[in-house]
Structure formats: structure tokens, C-alpha cells
């Protein structure tokens, strides 16, 4: 991974230069020494340094957790169509990504930037002589949460990936790929530590830094992906039982606002911006411009009659080009696209609606069908739809699981790649996406970036790619 690691200084500078850059990097310093101990000399300094890791999870070009992750993954599935024919975008929609694709490389690099930053933070916290024991536990837990979050997306996007808990350049430059199961062991270990040590209170406003409930929510999702149904239900329940801090927004247009009680974790857009990166990513500033990512006919027709999400979370624009009027539908969960000052929206990483759906699926898999229906109906009720408990109380397990899968799509579309990841984890990708001209089983994993393989001979490419 030399290519990614050659940029580690760029990744770490915004994190640690927030605390006096003069002592941060000396010319010739090895990369594993760039994280200045000054950045972790006190609890307050460590808090600022850790906050910088979040900012690396979005980028100026809109990838990472700023629109690109969900757009490219949903386009790889069946939820979004890319209107631009530029290869680096079109390759995702046509499931023909090359190993040299810049967007694929950027996603890979940004996940690893955050991981290396977290590793460096953990090492420096451990070595700090100025931090309190409580501060060390808190900020180690936060760094481990961020490491787990980024590894979750790496392992579900590229499969077996290099696993490291070190920021040492020489060591990381020769890593082999690690089996998916072993990566998940680190993810679970990190999240259990974070759950035990973060505490329930958020640091600062807007829920833009992880607390123990964020760790619990992500742990529920991890267990769901691992088909550990009882554990998934238990962790989701811990979040859902906190009715003081979390609640579904009855008004769908308020779900993604900064004031939403549905938010478990957000990531703010860097800079003094009032909008989430998703807003301008999906919605053009000019009303006469075709949206860059539009909802497919398949998804649009999947919404049931009367579903409020279709009117609240989908934007309709009729645009005339060459005398021909065409109607386009695009994601509209984030409506703010310009402005500075007090944030109005921030990117939602984890929210309560998904916790109901996680527990519903886990309960249905465990044949607790009545309880699963109750959870599913919480989400359907908010969307203004008939309740399963009323219309089909005797629904079979298979049909209930299908209903939950449907609900996950229309509830979570254009959010964090959930549709793409759901199709893969439930082994439905091949049967669902076979209508796409270039579809093949190998497309379920993205290619390892070619430059990383060029510089690290221990890396092997995913099957089906060169």
C-alpha cells in the first residue's frame, strides 16, 4: 500500500497540525513518527486532534462520507443512474470498474487515511505523559470506533484487505491481505472497547462525534452482517430503549436536519458550511441542470402508493433539452446545498430508523415474527403506510424477510451504500442485478487500486480484475 501511505502525511497534517505544526514534522522524519506528541500532550489537545480524523472522512471532491460513497455504491446496484458519461463515474454504473479508476482509488485511500490517523492517535495517546487516564480511555475509544467504521466499509467493498493497527511505514508497506473474518474480529474488538469507554454523552453539539450509542448502533449493524441475529437484536435494543435521546422524526422532512432526534452519529462537512456534502452532491444549484445522479425507474416504482418518503425524500425536476421535456427523480434527503454559518444538515452515518430495521430482520431470522412485525411497522407507520400487523398478521417468515428487505431499500436509499451492501450480504446481488449488461459475480467486490498493487507486491488483485 505504498501509494496510499505516501499520502499519510497529507492525511495526518489536518488531524495533528491543529495543534502547532512547527514541531509536527521534521524533514526526513519517518512516516510513523509524524504524529507529534504535542498533539496529545493534554486531553484538550487530544480532543482536537481526534476531531480532525472525522474531517478526513469527507473530501473536497465529495467522496468518502460526503455523497460519493453512497452515490457510487447505489449506482453499482440498482438505485441510482449516473447521468455523466465520464469513465471514472460510468464504470460504477456499468459494473466495469478498472483497477486504475480514480474514484475507486480515492475511496480506498480515504478509508485508509482515517485508519492510519486513528492508529497514530492510539499510539500517541498511549505514549502521552500529559493526558489523564480517563482522557486516554475516552480518546482511544473514539479512535478505535473510527478505525472500526472505516474497516467495516473496506471489508464490505473490497473483501479481504490489509489489516494494520500500526502507523509504521515500513511495516504497512509490505502487508498482505487479511481474511475478512479476521478483519471483522478487529472491528468487533474495537467497537466493544468503544462501547465500554466512550460514555453516553456526546462531545459538543450536533452529534458529530461518536458516543457509546454510536458504537452500539454500529455493532448492531456488524452483527447483522455476520448473521449473529441474537447479538444484532440485543445491540439494536440497547439503542432503541434510549427513548430520552433518540426518537423517529414524525415529519420526514426533518429526519436529516441538524436538530433531528433520529441521529445517532453525523459527520459534519469541513469548513464553515451550513450544508452536508450530500446536498450539493445530489442536487444541482441551477433548476435547469440535470441532476448528476438520478433515481432508477426500478427504485421509483418500488415505493408503495401513499409512501410519504416518495414525496419527501425524492426530488422531481422536469428539464427541457432540445425541445424535449424529461422528468428526473433524484435523492432529496438533504435539501441544503449552499450557505455558511450554523450547520443546518450534516451527513447521517447512523440513525434510529435503521435500528428498527436491523432488529426487525434479526428477529425475523430468529422466527420472532410478531416482534419483527412490530419493528417493521414502526418504520412503515412513519411513512404513512398500512401496517403489516393489520393487513397480513400471519405473514410467513420468508415473506416477512422480503418485506423487511423492501423496507430497507425505500428507507435507506442513497445512504452509505446500504442497498449495494444489502444485496451482497443477503446473496441477492446476482439474481437482482443480472439485468445489467456487464453484470458478473466478480463485480460484487471493487478492484484493489492498481498503484497499490504496483508498489506492494504482496497485494493480490480481486478475481476478475487486472
According to the model, what pLDDT value does residue 61 have? 47
Under a CB-based contact definition with an 8 Å cutoff, are residues 406 and 395 in contact? no
Domain that holds residue 50: 1-198
* Residue 246 placed within a domain: no
Query: Which pLDDT score is estimated for 86?
Result: 80
- Give the pLDDT of residue 272: 83
- Identify the weakest region by mean pLDDT among 60-64, 222-226, 261-265, 292-296: 60-64
Does some domain include residue 2? yes
- Confirm whether 303 is domain-assigned: no
Q: What is the pLDDT of residues 423-464, one digit of tens each?
A: 999 999 999 999 999 999 999 999 999 999 999 999 999 999
Residue 14: is its pLDDT beyond 80?
Answer: no
Q: Is 48 exposed, middle or buried (0-12, 13-18, 19+ CB in 10 A)?
A: middle
Is 224 contained in some domain? no
- Least reliable range by pLDDT among 1-10, 17-26, 324-333, 365-374: 17-26
Q: Nearest 5 degrees, angle CA 409-CA 413-CA 415?
A: 125
Evaluate if residue 340 carries a pLDDT over 70: yes
* Residue 159 covered by a domain: yes
Mean pLDDT of 46-63: 80
Q: Is residue 60 part of a domain?
A: yes
Residue 14 lies in a domain: yes
> In sequence order, which residues have a C-beta less than 8 Å from that of residue 149 and are 6 or more positions away?
114, 218, 349
> Do the domain assignments include residue 220?
no
How would you class 118 by CB atoms within 10 Å of its CB: exposed for 0-12, middle for 13-18, buried for 19 or more? buried
| 385-436 confidence digits (pLDDT tens) | 999 999 999 999 999 999 999 999 999 999 999 999 999 999 999 999 999 9
209 — pLDDT class (breaks 50, 70, 90): very high
Q: How many domains does the chain have?
A: 1
pLDDT band of 60, cuts 50, 70, 90: very low
Predicted pLDDT at 169: 82
Q: Confidence class of residue 55 from pLDDT cuts 50, 70 and 90?
A: confident
Mean pLDDT of the chain: 91
pLDDT the model gives residue 34? 33
Give 259's contacts (C-beta < 8 A, 6+ positions apart): none
| 136-154 pLDDT tens trace | 999 999 999 999 999 999 9
* Residues 73-120: tens digit of each pLDDT: 999 999 999 998 788 889 999 999 999 999 999 999 999 999 999 999
Lowest mean pLDDT, pick from 82-96, 205-219, 305-319, 450-464: 82-96
Mean pLDDT of 153-171: 95
- Enter the pTM of the model: 0.93
The CATH number of the domain holding residue 186 is 1.25.40.890
Q: What is the pLDDT of residues 28-47, one digit of tens each?
A: 233 333 356 789 999 999 99
For residue 69, pLDDT over 60 is answered with yes
Burial of 392 (0-12, 13-18, 19+ CB in 10 A): middle
Amino acid at each position: 500500500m505504498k501509494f496510499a501511505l505516501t499520502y499519510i502525511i497529507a492525511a495526518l497534517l489536518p488531524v495533528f497540525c491543529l495543534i502547532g505544526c512547527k514541531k509536527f514534522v521534521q524533514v526526513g522524519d519517518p512516516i510513523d513518527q509524524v504524529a507529534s506528541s504535542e498533539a496529545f500532550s493534554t486531553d484538550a489537545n487530544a480532543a482536537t486532534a481526534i476531531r480532525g480524523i472525522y474531517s478526513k472522512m469527507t473530501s473536497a471532491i465529495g467522496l468518502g462520507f460526503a455523497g460519493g460513497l453512497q452515490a457510487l455504491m447505489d449506482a453499482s446496484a440498482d438505485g441510482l443512474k449516473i447521468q455523466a458519461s465520464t469513465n471514472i463515474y460510468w464504470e460504477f454504473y456499468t459494473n466495469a470498474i478498472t483497477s486504475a479508476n480514480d474514484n475507486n482509488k480515492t475511496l480506498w485511500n480515504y478509508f485508509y487515511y482515517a485508519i492510519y490517523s486513528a492508529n497514530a492517535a492510539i499510539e500517541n495517546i498511549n505514549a502521552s505523559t500529559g493526558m489523564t487516564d480517563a482522557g486516554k480511555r475516552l480518546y482511544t475509544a473514539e479512535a478505535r470506533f473510527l478505525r472500526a467504521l472505516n474497516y467495516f466499509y473496506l471489508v464490505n467493498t473490497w473483501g479481504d484487505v490489509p489489516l494494520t493497527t500500526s502507523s509504521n511505514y515500513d511495516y504497512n508497506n509490505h502487508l498482505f491481505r487479511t481474511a475478512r473474518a479476521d478483519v471483522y474480529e478487529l472491528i468487533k474488538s474495537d467497537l466493544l472497547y468503544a462501547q465500554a469507554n466512550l460514555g453516553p454523552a456526546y462531545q459538543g453539539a450536533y452529534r458529530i462525534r461518536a458516543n457509546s450509542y454510536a458504537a452500539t448502533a454500529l455493532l448492531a449493524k456488524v452483527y447483522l452482517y455476520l448473521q449473529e441475529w441474537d447479538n444484532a437484536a440485543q445491540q439494536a435494543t440497547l439503542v432503541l430503549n434510549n427513548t430520552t435521546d433518540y426518537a423517529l422524526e414524525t415529519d420526514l422532512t426533518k429526519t436529516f436536519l441538524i436538530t433531528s432526534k433520529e441521529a445517532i452519529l453525523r459527520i459534519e462537512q469541513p469548513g464553515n458550511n451550513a450544508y452536508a456534502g450530500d446536498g450539493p452532491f445530489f442536487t444541482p444549484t441551477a433548476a435547469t441542470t440535470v441532476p448528476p445522479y438520478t433515481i432508477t425507474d426500478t427504485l421509483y416504482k418500488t415505493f408503495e402508493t401513499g409512501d410519504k418518503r416518495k414525496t419527501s425524500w425524492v426530488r422531481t425536476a422536469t428539464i427541457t433539452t432540445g425541445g424535449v421535456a424529461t422528468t428526473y427523480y433524484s435523492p432529496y434527503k438533504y435539501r441544503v446545498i449552499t450557505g455558511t454559518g450554523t450547520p443546518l444538515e450534516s451527513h447521517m452515518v447512523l440513525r434510529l430508523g435503521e435500528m428498527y430495521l436491523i432488529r426487525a430482520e434479526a428477529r425475523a431470522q430468529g422466527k420472532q415474527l410478531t416482534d419483527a412485525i412490530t419493528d417493521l411497522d414502526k418504520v412503515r407507520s412513519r411513512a404513512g403506510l398500512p401496517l403489516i400487523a393489520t393487513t397480513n398478521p400471519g405473514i410467513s417468515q420468508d415473506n416477512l424477510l422480503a418485506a423487511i428487505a423492501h423496507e430497507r431499500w425505500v428507507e435507506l436509499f442513497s445512504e452509505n451504500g446500504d442497498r449495494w451492501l444489502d444485496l451482497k450480504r443477503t446473496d441477492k446481488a446476482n439474481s437482482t442485478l443480472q439485468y445489467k449488461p456487464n453484470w458478473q459475480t466478480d463485480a460484487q467486490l471493487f478492484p484493489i487500486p492498481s498503484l497499490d498493487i504496483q508498489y506492494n507486491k504482496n497485494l493480490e488483485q480481486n478475481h476478475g480484475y487486472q
